[in-house]
């Protein structure tokens, strides 16, 4: 006896057996039970989600000897003949092989005749989008007003290719791609009924490879049974599909989190020995990054992606959320560029090394280095008289001079202190627009540039106070005074003003360098070129 593949043997024969398409089953059941059955139905969706299966069940429901209902008996002659594909009044047409207008006209010539065996003559046209434009035109009138004994059931994977005139004449039902968990559950049920031994971790691999198609999943399951000599083992399935042990991508992320370049190279070498599909490895890595990010936001919610919950819980606190987002974006771009690489291995390794190279440095290291570098540039570029004019002196407003003296007396450089504080966003902007007045006991006193009053809110003050508490290692009370006493606020020597002056100096130097460039001068002299000053930006 010939072997019947699982996809055919376990094909649903009633609406109750159909999985994952409850919205379609509900609508069709209500239509059948109420007698409101349209004359033309269009079923859309990706391959293997049940379009023709639903159509055949609907044909059984219309022609069952017990009457029209959403629950065909399945045992009468009409139901059995439809299941076996030999019911004379169910005409199945493959539009991909019958695209000519002559084929359509020949088909329509039989529409006028009454059904020979059943209650309705049902035309099931699969891949209907393959019909030619002339074929659609020939079909339109009949599709709109067919004889009362005729029902049209159309199925397609590409409804965008159907003329709007056809779409408007049909009831449309979109069958969804099935989730991995549902496919996994269905395969486990089938293997249990067939009394076939299997390892549970192998089924999610097949379910993910099926990409939402239950039929493809069952075809892969048949292949796995042949590959594994009647058993479904995880190692056999990985070997058959060309997938890798997910432990490799876990180790890659662990080395990235630790900044361990040598360890990362070792993991990449071990991975290359397995000659994997590097595009699939990037898919696995991106999936792991998404699972860890989800675990950070909602603990214990990321384990349904095939990774062990303990692994996700261990990785979540080790990788900052912003690093995860960066790694994920690099993985996506790496997949796109993989075919442009000299070879897939090189493209994959460069993608992973890019994650390591672009890994953000500690916040404090970046914020301390940049202002100091800017300050050095400003000091070297600004002439001594101009530099002196910006510093507190006897001619400066009293409040600013007092602030400078307190700072000098306490030895506190507010700009350097601010660079070490663990704050960002609006709270950091608030601090950058303040002048350090001093610390009296548990009180840290600042004076706010009155042009920046909009930055002062309860939330920003609380965040700044918490950062100061962490820095000084004790209970600190933040006191921010309003800058009403300063008559010329533009001279307030806040960190924000210092950075602005440094940026202005850099811009002036860039413009001067460009003006003095021999090539630019030659272009001006020979061609009358001009420089648009507003487009000049310094290179940092």
Q: Is the pLDDT of residue 487 over 50?
A: no
Q: Is the pLDDT of residue 150 over 50?
A: yes
Asked if 61 and 29 count as a contact pair (C-beta separation under 8 A), the reply is no
CA distance 484 to 449: 9
CA distance 64 to 72: 6
User: Mean pLDDT over residues 327-349, rounded?
Assistant: 92
What pLDDT, on a 0 to 100 scale, did the predictor assign at position 363?
43
Mean pLDDT for all residues in the chain: 82
User: What structural domains does the chain harbor?
Assistant: 6-174 (3.40.50.300), 180-241 (1.10.8.60), 247-357 (1.20.272.10), 364-383+395-495 (3.30.300), 500-535 (no CATH)
Q: Is the pLDDT of residue 297 over 60?
A: yes
CA distance 88 to 117: 7
Q: Is the pLDDT of residue 73 over 70?
A: yes
What pLDDT, on a 0 to 100 scale, did the predictor assign at position 105?
85
Structure tokens at 475: 């209970």
CA distance 197 to 219: 17
Q: Where are the alpha helices (DSSP H) in 85-242?
A: 101-108, 133-144, 164-167, 180-194, 202-210, 214-227, 234-241
Confidence of residue 490 (pLDDT cuts 50, 70, 90): very low
What pLDDT, on a 0 to 100 scale, did the predictor assign at position 435?
87
CA distance 263 to 260: 5
Q: Is the pLDDT of residue 187 over 90?
A: yes
User: Mean pLDDT over residues 97-101, rounded?
Assistant: 79
Structure tokens at 101: 């207008």
Q: Is the pLDDT of residue 375 over 80?
A: no
Within 10 A of 161 (CB to CB), how many other CB atoms are there?
A: 11
DSSP state of 232: B
User: Is residue 91 helix, strand or coil?
Assistant: strand
User: Mean pLDDT over residues 459-487, rounded?
Assistant: 80
Q: Is the pLDDT of residue 388 over 60?
A: no
Region at 405 (left for phi over 0; alpha for psi -120 to 50; beta for the rest) = alpha
Pick the closest to residue 483 from 398, 388, 424 (CA basis).
398
Q: Is the pLDDT of residue 408 over 50?
A: no
What pLDDT, on a 0 to 100 scale, did the predictor assign at position 55?
94
| Strand locations in 415-494 (E) | 434-440, 443-448, 477-482
Asked if 55 and 87 count as a contact pair (C-beta separation under 8 A), the reply is no
Q: What is the pTM of this model?
A: 0.59
Q: Is the pLDDT of residue 115 over 70?
A: yes
Pick the closest to residue 428 from 451, 403, 461, 396 (CA basis).
461
What pLDDT, on a 0 to 100 scale, did the predictor assign at position 402?
41
What pLDDT, on a 0 to 100 scale, did the predictor assign at position 466?
87
Within 10 A of 441 (CB to CB), how many other CB atoms are there?
A: 7
Q: Higher pLDDT residue, 528 or 264?
A: 264
**Is the alpha carbon torsion for 340, 345, 346, 349 positive or negative?**
positive
Q: Higher pLDDT residue, 247 or 24?
A: 24
Asked if 113 and 84 count as a contact pair (C-beta separation under 8 A), the reply is no
């Amino acid at each position: 006896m010939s072997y019947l593949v699982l996809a055919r043997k376990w094909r649903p024969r009633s609406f109750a057996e159909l999985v994952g398409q409850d919205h379609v089953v509900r609508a069709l059941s209500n239509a059948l039970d109420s007698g409101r059955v349209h004359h033309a139905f269009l079923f859309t969706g990706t391959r293997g989600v049940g379009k023709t299966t639903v159509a055949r069940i609907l044909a059984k429901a219309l022609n069952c000897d017990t009457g029209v209902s959403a629950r065909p008996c399945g045992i009468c002659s009409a139901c059995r003949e439809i299941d076996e594909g030999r019911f004379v009044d169910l005409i199945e047409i493959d539009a991909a092989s019958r695209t000519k207008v002559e084929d359509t006209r020949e088909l329509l010539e039989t529409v006028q005749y009454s059904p020979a065996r059943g209650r309705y003559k049902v035309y099931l046209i699969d891949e209907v989008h393959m019909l030619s434009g002339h074929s659609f035109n020939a079909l339109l009138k009949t599709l709109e007003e067919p004889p009362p004994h005729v029902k049209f059931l159309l199925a397609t994977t590409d409804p965008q290719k159907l003329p709007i005139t056809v779409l408007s004449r049909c009831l449309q039902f979109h069958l969804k791609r099935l989730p991995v968990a549902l496919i996994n559950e269905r395969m486990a049920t089938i293997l249990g009924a067939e009394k076939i031994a299997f390892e549970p971790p192998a089924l999610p691999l097949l379910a993910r490879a099926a990409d939402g198609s239950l039929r493809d999943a069952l075809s892969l399951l048949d292949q796995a049974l042949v590959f594994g000599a009647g058993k479904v083992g995880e190692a056999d399935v990985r070997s058959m599909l060309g997938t890798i042990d997910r432990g490799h991508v876990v180790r890659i992320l662990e080395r990235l989190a630790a900044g361990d370049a040598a360890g990362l190279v070792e993991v990449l070498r071990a991975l290359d020995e397995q000659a994997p599909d590097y595009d699939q490895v990037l898919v696995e890595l991106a999936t792991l990054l998404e699972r860890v990010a989800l675990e950070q936001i909602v603990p214990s919610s990321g384990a349904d992606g095939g990774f062990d919950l303990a692994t996700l819980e261990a990785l979540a606190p080790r990788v900052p959320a912003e690093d995860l987002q960066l790694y994920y974006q690099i993985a996506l771009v790496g997949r796109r560029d993989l075919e442009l690489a000299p070879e897939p291995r090189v493209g994959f390794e460069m993608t992973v090394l890019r994650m390591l190279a672009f890994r953000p440095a500690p916040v404090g290291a970046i914020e301390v280095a940049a202002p100091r570098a800017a300050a050095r540039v400003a000091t070297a570029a600004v002439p001594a008289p101009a530099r002196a004019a910006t510093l507190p002196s006897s001619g400066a407003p009293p409040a600013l001079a007092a602030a400078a003296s307190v700072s000098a007396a306490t030895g506190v450089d507010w700009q350097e202190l601010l660079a070490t504080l663990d704050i960002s966003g609006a709270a950091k902007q608030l601090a950058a627009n303040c002048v350090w007045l001093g610390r009296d006991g548990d009180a840290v006193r600042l004076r706010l540039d009155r042009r920046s009053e909009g930055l002062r809110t309860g939330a920003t003050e609380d965040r700044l106070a918490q950062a100061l508490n962490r820095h000084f290692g004790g209970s600190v009370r933040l006191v921010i005074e309003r800058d009403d006493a300063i008559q010329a606020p533009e001279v307030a020597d806040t960190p924000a003003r210092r950075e602005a002056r440094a940026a202005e100096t850099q811009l002036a130097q860039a413009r001067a360098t460009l003006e003095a460039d021999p090539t630019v001068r030659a272009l001006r002299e020979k061609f009358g070129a001009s420089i648009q000053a507003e487009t000049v930006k310094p290179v940092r």
